[in-house]
Amino acid sequence: MRPILMDNAFEAWVAAIHYCNDIKGGKVTLQYQKNFVSSLHNAVELIMKQMLLNNNEHRVAEVRKPKSNAKLVLDYSNATNLNRFFETLQSNELSKFKTIQFKDLISLHQELFGKSLINGESLQAELELLQWLRNNETHFMIRQGSFLSEDDFRTLHNFMVRFYKIMKTWNPADEADLESSIFLYLYWYSPDKHDSMYDFECELLQDFSYESAVRNSKLAKDIAKILKDNHQCGAPNFSPYDIAFDLMNGYNGLSVQFDEIWAMVYMMQSLGIIVVDEMLDDEQGRVYFTMKVSL
């Protein structure tokens, strides 16, 4: 029986890679930052829980009301294959369990990763940062420009590099158990496939700048070229939405979705690459806008 959390975990991991690459490509609006943090947190949490399941660690979950569900508690404590145990439960029985919290997974991470960590290496700071960002995004107010700092993104990017390497070297406690080893060999990593969508063989970021990511973006350069040739694109207000709408509908060369164009235009305006000035027409007494592009 295959690991029960992996489909969901890998979908989250692929999403985290997608949003990470988007941010490196200059799409650094709050929405992309939130999606990156949320996806990465979800992936890491599910993968670590799956590791507990594969090793038949009963710390992965507990029954919410043990006195009222004595038989379920007994069946769970006697289970020797937790993947099979949870797979066969009905929905009403599953709802009686609560799983281990992320903060407790952090405290177990060195035990879980074991020999995959080098010389007592700890990833506690990175995991705590991920938890802190996720909690802020979920439970409290966040703002564009203050949620995921450049240093925080660099830290999480480099954590993903290390986490992927750990996953490639991880094996279940019983390496002869085919059901558990499927986790590694069929779902996560195959040496015969060099273009796996789960792959994150990236260089560590030594530094990172959101502005540089935008300025180096091919999409930003394409947008700047079009806008320099057509100063009426997005007129009369030149808002990010209006500019993106005109670009989406008037230029077939931009083969991306509207939200990607909007995000890039928004960042270009935020960073002063696109500057919209308010002008007063003294003769007519009307306010109008002009746009300048510097890229």
Please say if the pLDDT value at position 244 is more than 80. yes
Domain with CATH 1.10.10.10 in the chain: 217-293
CA distance 113 to 120: 10
Q: Are strands 97-99 and 61-63 parallel, antiparallel or unpaired?
A: antiparallel
CA distance 14 to 80: 31
Can you read off the two tokens belonging to residue 157?
């990017």
CA distance 92 to 269: 51
CATH of 217-293 given 3.10.105.10, 1.10.10.10, 3.40.50.720, 2.60.40.10: 1.10.10.10
Q: What is the DSSP string of 69-92?
A: THHHHHHHHH-S-HHHHHHTS-HH
Residue 150 C-beta-side C-alpha neighbours within 13 Å: 11
Q: What is the DSSP string of 252-271?
A: TT--S-HHHHHHHHHHHHHT
Please say if the pLDDT value at position 2 is more than 80. no
Cβ neighbourhood burial of 67 (10 Å; 0-12, 13-18, 19+) = exposed
Neighbours of 229 (CB within 10 A): 9
**Per-residue pLDDT band at 285 (split at 50, 70, 90):** low
Contact 39, 20 (CB under 8 A): no
Q: Helix, strand or coil for residue 233? A: coil
- Measured N-to-C along each axis, helices 30-54 and 258-270 cross at an angle, to the nearest 10 degrees, of 120
How do residues 141-156 score in pLDDT, each as one tens digit?
677 777 899 999 999 9
Please say if the pLDDT value at position 106 is more than 90. yes
Q: Mean pLDDT throughout 273-287?
A: 73
Neighbours of 190 (CB within 10 A): 12
Cβ neighbourhood burial of 83 (10 Å; 0-12, 13-18, 19+) = buried
**Per-residue pLDDT band at 251 (split at 50, 70, 90):** confident
Rounded (10°) CA dihedral 158, 161, 163, 164: 170
CA distance 129 to 135: 10
Nearest by Cα to 263 from 70, 34, 79, 59: 34
Please say if the pLDDT value at position 180 is more than 50. no
**Per-residue pLDDT band at 181 (split at 50, 70, 90):** very low
Please say if the pLDDT value at position 278 is more than 70. yes
CA distance 211 to 228: 20
Query: What pLDDT does 282 receive?
Result: 59
Query: What pLDDT does 142 receive?
Result: 72
